Amino acid sequence: MTDVVDRPAGQAGRSAGRDQQPAGGTTAVDVAALGEQLLGKWADIRRHSRQLSGRPELHKTEGLTHTEHRKRAFGQLRYLVENGAVHRAFPASLGGSDDHGGNIAGFEELVTADPSLQIKAGVQWGLFGSAVLHLGTAEHHAKWLPGIMNMDIPGCFAMTETGHGSDVASIATTATFDPAAQEFVLNTPVRAAWKDYIGNAAIDGLGAVVFAQLVTNGVNHGVHAFYVDLRDPETKDFLPGIGGEDDGVKGGLNGIDNGRLHFSNVRIPRTNLLNRYGNVDADGTYTSPISSPGRRFFTMLGTLVQGRVSLDGAAVAASKLALKTAIQYATERRQFNASSHTEEEVLLDYQRHQRRLFTRLATTYAAGFAHEQLLQKFDDVFSGAHDTDEDRQDLETLAAALKPLSTWHALDTLQECREACGGAGFLIENRFASLRADLDVYVTFEGDNTVLLQLVAKRLLADYAKEFRSLDVGVLARYVVSQAAGAAVHRTGLRQVAQFMADTGSVQKAAIALRDEDTQRLLLTDRVQTMIAEVGGALKGTNRLPQQQAAALFNQHQHELIEAAQAHAELLQWEAFTEALANVNDPGTKRVLTWLRDLFGLSLIEKNLSWYLMNGRLSMQRGRTVGEYINRLLVKIRPHALDLVDAFGYGPEHVRAAIATGAERTRQDEARAYFRSQRADGKAPVDEKVLLAKQAAAKASRR
C-alpha cells in the first residue's frame, strides 16, 4: 500500500477516509483552492519563506547544548540575509521593499524551522531594527539601519526590566541630559532597573535601543528610546560603564542568548535619542509633536505592535503543525477492536478523539482567518493607507485581543496533540514537546496575555461609555428602562419558558436553531455586550472616587473584565471565520468549512453553557442539544479531516515528525496482513473469548 506521504495533497484525506463516505456521498474539499485561501494576501511571500524554512540549514537540531544552539542560530541570521528573507519592511532606499504586511507574513513562517531562529530574527529586525526605523529619523536610518540590516550590528531591544515587565511606563532606568556635554547620562539606579530577558544581550549584541525615562531641566518627560553602543566590535567586551549577565538555560528558545544589562553613568551623544516623537534641543528644551504625555507614550509603543502581530501568526502556524501530525497519525494508528473480533479501530474513528482534535482544528481555522484580518489592519496602518489615531488604536486593540487567544491555544493544542499520540508524542523526534517548550514564553512576552486582555477590556468599556456621552437624559433613561426590562425577563425565566415551549418535543428544531449563523452570532454577541454592560454599570462613577477607592473597585471586577475581553476576542475569531466563508467558491469546501465554523461557534457556547443558562439566554432543552449537535458535526467532519490539515500546505520538510510520514500505516498494514494470513491458513490460535462465546451459543441452542 502506498504511504500517505507519497500521495498528492488532497488524496490522502479521501483515501484514508474511505471507510466513511462523506455526508451526502459527494461532499469533498478542494484542497488546492482552500490552501491558496489560507495563504492569504501575501501568498507568494509565505511560499518563499516556507521554501527557506524547509531547508536543513535552518532546522532546529535537537540535543544541542544551549551554547551550541546559540551559535547555530546566530549563523542562521546571516543565512536569512543572504537569501533575502528579512528586509521587506525596511525602506526601498536602503534595499528593502516597504512591505510591512508581507514582512510579518514571511517572518511568522520561520517558526516551522526553529522558534529560536524566528524570535532571534524578530529581535534583530522586528524589534531592534524597527525601533530605529519607526522611532528614529532619517539621520538615524542612514547611520545605523544598513548595519542592522546586514548583521554588521547585531542588537538588542532593551525595554523590559527585572522589576517592570508589562508596566513599561514605570521602568526605572534614566537618561538625564547634560547640556554642558551635549550628552545623555544613562543609569540603572537599582538592581530592579536592570534590563532583563533581553535577546542578544548575553553574547551577540553590539548595540541596543534602550528605553529610559528622559529627564531634562529637572523634568521627567517619560519613556523614550536611545541608541546605545554596548560592546567593542573587535573584542566583544562591554564598553565602560556597561555590564551584564547571561540569563542562562531557559525552558525553551535556548538558541537565543537572553541576558541582563545595567548602566552606570554611561554617556551617549544627544543625537542618539530616537527623536521622532520627542526631541531635546542643545539647551535642554524638550519638544514633541504630541502634547499629551500619555498619548505620546502609547504612540511610541504602538509603533512596535508588530511583535504581537507576528506572535499571533506564529502561534497559529505551530498549531497547524501539531494538528497535521496528530490527525495524520490518528488516521493510521489502530487501537482496540471495539466493533470487530479481528480488526482494530483507527484512533480518529473514536468520538472522543475527534472531540479532542476537531474542536482545536476548528479554533485553528478561526484563529488563522482572524490573523489574516489583523495582518491586513497592520499593513494598512504601517503603509499609511489607513493611519489615523483611531486606526492605530483599533490595531492595538485587535492585536491585544488576538495574541492571547492564539498563543494560549497553541500551547493547549500542542499538549492535546501530544497526548493524543500517546508515548510516541512524547518523543522529541515528533516535535510536540520541543515546540511546546519553545512556545511557552509566547504567552508572556510582547505583552503578558492577561495584561493585554485587560487593555482590551478598558477599550471596550471606553467604547461602551462613549455611546451615551452625547445622549440626552430622556434617551438614556429609556435605554436604562429597556435594559432593566430585558434583565427582568432573563432573571424570571420568561425567555427560558418561551424557548422551552418552542422546543418541546423537537430536539431537531433546537439543534437547527443553534446551527443557524444568526443564532450563533446573537448568542456570542449578546454575551459580550451583557458582560461589558454589567461591568460598566458596576464601575459607573469610578472617575469621581478617590484614586485608592477607584482602584479597589476596579480590582473587584477585574476577573469579569478579562472574561469579557476574551469573549470579545472569540467573537472576533468567529466573525472572521464567517466572513472567510463568503470567499469560498467551491460548494463542497464551503459546506465542510461551514460545519467547522459551526463546531467552533458551538464549542464556545458549550464552554460557556452555564452562563447562557444562568442568564436565561438558553433553555435547558436547547442547552442539552449543544453537545448532541457538536457530536453530529464530528461525524460529518471526520471524512475530511486529512484534507483540512493538508490545506495548511506544510510538507514533510516542515512537519518533520516521524509519526506523520506514513510509517505507522506501514506498520499497521504489516500487522493486519500477518494476522489475516494466520487466520486464512488456520494457524491462528483460537481466542478464548471467542471460544467461550461459541460454547455458550451452542449450549443455548440445545435448550
| Distance from C-alpha of 111 to C-alpha of 117, rounded to nearest angstrom | 7
Residues with catalytic roles: 446
**3 state SS of 570:** helix
| Distance from C-alpha of 78 to C-alpha of 118, rounded to nearest angstrom | 13
Rg of the chain over Cα atoms, rounded to whole angstroms, equals: 29
| Distance from C-alpha of 538 to C-alpha of 605, rounded to nearest angstrom | 25
| Distance from C-alpha of 446 to C-alpha of 543, rounded to nearest angstrom | 29
Q: Do strands 183-187 and 259-269 pair parallel, antiparallel, or not at all (unpaired)?
A: antiparallel
User: Cβ atoms within 10 A of the Cβ of 339, count?
Assistant: 9
DSSP alpha helix (H) spans, 289-350: 293-302, 306-330
**3 state SS of 105:** helix
Judge whether 569 and 453 are in contact, CB under 8 Å: yes
User: What does residue 91 show for φ and ψ, rounded to 5 degrees?
Assistant: -60, 145
| Distance from C-alpha of 619 to C-alpha of 523, rounded to nearest angstrom | 13
**3 state SS of 224:** strand
Give the distance from CA 263 to its chain's centroid. 35
Judge whether 318 and 435 are in contact, CB under 8 Å: yes
| Distance from C-alpha of 122 to C-alpha of 627, rounded to nearest angstrom | 42
Q: Do strands 242-246 and 183-187 pair parallel, antiparallel, or not at all (unpaired)?
A: unpaired
User: Cβ atoms within 10 A of the Cβ of 291, count?
Assistant: 8
Please give the grid coordinates belonging to residue 476: 438614556
| Distance from C-alpha of 420 to C-alpha of 361, rounded to nearest angstrom | 14
Residue 372: name the closest of 520, 638, 573 by CA: 573
Burial 246-270 (b: 16+ CB within 10 A, else e): ebeeeebbbbbbbbbbbbeebebeb
| Distance from C-alpha of 356 to C-alpha of 368, rounded to nearest angstrom | 19
